[in-house]
Amino acid sequence: MQAGIGTEHDLLLQQKKKNLNRKRVDTWLLLIPTLGIFIFFFLLPLFFLFITSFKTFDASTGIGNEWTLQNYIKFMSDPFYLGVVWRTVKIALLTTLITIIISYPVAFQISRSKGRARNYLTLLVLSPLLISMVIRCYGWVILLNNNGVVNNTLLKLGWIDQPLTLLYTELGVVIGMVHVLFPYMVLSIMGSLEKIDHSVIRASQNLGASSFRTFFSILLPLTLPGVFAGSVMVFSLSVSSFVTPAILGGPQVKVMSYLTYEQVAVMLNWPYGGAIGFLLILIATITIIAYSKILARSEKGVAIQ
């Protein structure tokens, strides 16, 4: 009797193992197309970029046959290129910070809205994504140039005596980047706000806490994952952005993506352009890892509190 029960139990375990193995195989089969696209369109180009960056420059073919570290040495030892690195990171950090400040109240208002008002506000936030990035940037060119709407308005109000130089400056690039990346931050923060039980906020207010204290003691800590996720997304997109800096900054505001384009498309120096591009990817990756560690520590701190 016991032997029969044991045999039946073993058969059930074997059947469960077969089902689990079958599910794993099915999962991997479903992942094959995605993995193929990821490998073919991301990993392979990244690998060839890395290999090319260690090649010498050949004026006839663009890529020589000899191996060298000179591309990286040249970039890291030139104050001009190091200045471009700092400018790229600075613009990305400013864009991220300003986007957080602007997006948080908008995301909070949308999360509290209901019905048509919520739908209209969400559509308004997402509307920039429905327009080509090039068109958006040229719209800012019209607004920010010396005879544009911004300067003409300020002159008529008497707030300035002469037009402000907004176009082809770091400020102009930051303004354009904030407009482009603003929806991503709003959606990220909204995701965290939706998970909060609003009775907690009401309880804080009923206990006499001010709106300022409620925000910094309850709301902000609970939405930090959304803020950090949005920050990583916005920083990664802004540090590698090309179109916005090229149109609103031009040659006067060179960033690493612009240098990569110059070397590859204009100078036809693919190895040096590859080195700059790979360093740009490295900077973005290091920043994302640092952000992830900060996020983990922040979440631990909130949990302890």
pLDDT at 258: 93
> How many Cα atoms are found within 13 Å in the side-chain-facing hemisphere of 149?
5
CA 102 to chain centre: 16
Query: Are 136 and 248 within 8 A, CB to CB?
Result: no
Rg of the Cα atoms in the chain: 26
Rounded Cα gap, residues 201 and 214, in angstroms: 7
Q: Can you read off the two tokens belonging to residue 220?
A: 């902000």
Q: Which residue has the tokens 């907690």?
A: 200
Rounded Cα gap, residues 104 and 228, in angstroms: 12
Q: Can you read off the two tokens belonging to residue 112?
A: 């509290």
Q: Is 144 helix (H, G, I), strand (E, B) or coil?
A: helix
Query: Are 134 and 247 within 8 A, CB to CB?
Result: yes
CA neighbor of 127 nearest in space, from 179, 190, 200: 179
Rounded Cα gap, residues 252 and 246, in angstroms: 9
- pLDDT tens, per residue, the chain with 305 residues: 444 555 665 666 666 666 666 667 667 777 788 888 988 888 898 898 889 999 998 888 778 888 999 999 999 999 999 999 999 999 999 999 999 999 999 998 898 888 888 889 989 898 888 888 889 999 999 999 988 888 999 899 888 888 888 899 999 999 999 999 999 999 999 988 888 877 777 777 777 777 778 787 888 888 888 888 898 889 989 998 999 999 999 889 999 999 999 998 888 899 999 999 999 988 888 877 887 777 667 656 555 55
pLDDT at 46: 87
pLDDT at 86: 94
Q: Please calculate the CA angle 287-285-184 and round it to the nearest 5 degrees.
A: 75
Instruction: Supply the pTM of this predicted model.
Output: 0.82
Q: What is the DSSP letter of 42?
A: I
Q: Which residue has the tokens 């631990």?
A: 300
pLDDT at 220: 81
Which DSSP string corresponds to 203-271? HHHHTT--HHHHIIIIIHHHHHHHHHHHHHHHHHHHHT--HHIIIIIGGGS--HHHHHHIIIIIS--HH
How many angstroms separate the Cα of 275 from the Cα of each of 58, 66, 284?
Answer: 15, 15, 14
